[in-house]
Amino acid sequence: MSLGFLIVEDHPLYGEALQSVLASAMADARIEFAENFKQAKLSLQRRDRFDLVFLDLALPDTRGMDGLIELRSRFPKQPIAIVSAFDDDDAMQKAAVFGAAGFIPKTSTKTSIMLAVAAILRGDTSFPNRGQGQGERPDAAVDELTSKLETLTRQQLRVLHFLCAGMLNKQIAHELSVGETTVKAHVSEILRKMNVTSRTRAVLEIAKLESRALYALLASGCDTDAVN
């Protein structure tokens, strides 16, 4: 049975180059394209699961890791590899935290792309080597935090994402088109599942792995009171 891939990429040249790499190694592979996040969701709804989805971080209709968070929540069994022009440690760690199976910089060679794909297809993870072995996550703490995040619902993941951006309950409620009471309930569940006592502690747990979250917290003056 041939393998199926979905390339979510709004730059045709890179999408075609990635298709060429896959086709050269797996001539019978079935490869579909989506040029934005909306099309990607429609493709996954029709197909339910691909052997691997390549998700560009810089899509016109989603922000940062929001797309990864949503796809992981809607299609939890779907392996997703992040494709990005940015390959700094922060980006890779954030991708790992939110459940990506791998991270493929756009500067990768054909060989390194296929090694990453092979690792993911056999059930491993693949992130660029930053002093770690191929197929390992960037840090052991990432695995522990990922286990906690996997217990969160899609909406709770989005609330946590907004908390890390320093947003208050009122702002989060506006973004999600829900009441503040609903947001407070989500925050309480997030704290319980992450085993922390305040929203600040929840953000700091992620900040241990991704320093930008801490900077966002300090810059925004996020509420440091515990949430009951």
- Determine the pLDDT at residue 32: 95
Query: Per-residue pLDDT tens for 47-64?
Result: 878 999 999 988 999 877
With residue 18 as reference, give the H or E element that holds it.
Answer: helix 12-25
- Span 186-192, mean pLDDT? 93
- Determine the pLDDT at residue 205: 74
Q: How confident is the model at residue 139 (pLDDT cuts 50, 70, 90)?
A: low
Mean pLDDT, all residues of the chain: 81
Give the three-state DSSP class for 60. Answer: coil
The CATH superfamily assigned to 4-138 is Response regulator (3.40.50.2300)
What are the residue ranges of CATH 1.10.10.10 in the chain? 151-220
Q: Is pLDDT at 198 greater than 90 in this prediction?
A: no
Q: Is pLDDT at 112 greater than 50 in this prediction?
A: yes
Q: Is pLDDT at 36 greater than 90 in this prediction?
A: yes
Q: Is pLDDT at 41 greater than 90 in this prediction?
A: yes
Q: Is pLDDT at 178 greater than 70 in this prediction?
A: yes
- Span 102-123, mean pLDDT? 92
Q: What is the CA radius of gyration of the chain?
A: 18
Q: Is pLDDT at 227 greater than 60 in this prediction?
A: no
Q: Is pLDDT at 218 greater than 70 in this prediction?
A: no
Helix (H), strand (E), coil (C) string for 68-112: HHHHHHHCCCCCEEEEECCCCHHHHHHHHHCCCCEEEECCCCHHH
- Determine the pLDDT at residue 102: 94
- Determine the pLDDT at residue 69: 86
pTM value > 0.75? no
- Determine the pLDDT at residue 182: 95
Q: Is pLDDT at 149 greater than 70 in this prediction?
A: yes
Q: What is the rounded CA–CA span in Å between residue 25 and residue 22? A: 5
Hey, which bits of 156-217 come out as E strands?
none
Q: Is pLDDT at 207 greater than 70 in this prediction?
A: no
Q: What are phi and psi of 8, to 5 degrees?
A: -105, 100
What are the residue ranges of CATH 3.40.50.2300 in the chain? 4-138
The larger pLDDT score, comparing residue 90 to residue 125, is at: 125
Q: How confident is the model at residue 222 (pLDDT cuts 50, 70, 90)?
A: very low
Q: What is the rounded CA–CA span in Å between residue 201 and residue 226? A: 9
- Percentage of the residues of the chain whose pLDDT score is greater than 90: 41
- Determine the pLDDT at residue 126: 92
CATH 3.30.750.200 is held by the domain 151-220: no
